[in-house]
Amino acid sequence: MASDLISNANDTNFGTEVLSSDKPVLVDFWAVWCQPCKAVAPKVDNIAKSYPDTLKVVKVDVDSSPKTAMAYNVRSIPTLLVFKKGQVIGQVIGNQDESKIRALLAGHV
């Protein structure tokens, strides 16, 4: 079960949830049927718990939000993007080690 520190975004509210955030945002593009997405989910949850005041964590289901996935060229999942001030500043694709995800956030949270 995902942490209550993780919110969901979709094609309708992505701008509000992610692009307008005053904090850096880690966005997890995923799908229910994706096994690697299920494997990365606890790592994303741990990260959300580690930075509750300095990082916003958002999940986007690519099946229900295809426009957002296409807009950010998400071609495989899981894809994790880090946004700061509305711009993508980092990316990790696939089920990577938690340390690699944390390294992506270094200097931003």
Per DSSP, the three-state class of 80 is strand
37 is catalytic: yes
Q: In what order do the strands lie in the sheet with 56-61?
A: 6-9, 56-61, 25-30, 79-84, 87-93
Please say whether the dihedral angle defined by the alpha carbons of residues 44, 46, 49 and 52, taken in this order, is positive or negative: negative
Amino acid symbol at 96: Q
Could you tell me if 105 and 91 are in contact, meaning their C-beta atoms sit under 8 angstroms apart?
Answer: no
Selected catalytic residue, list 6, 18, 27, 37? 37
Check 34, 81, 82, 101 and give the catalytic one: 34
Please identify every residue annotated as catalytic.
34, 37
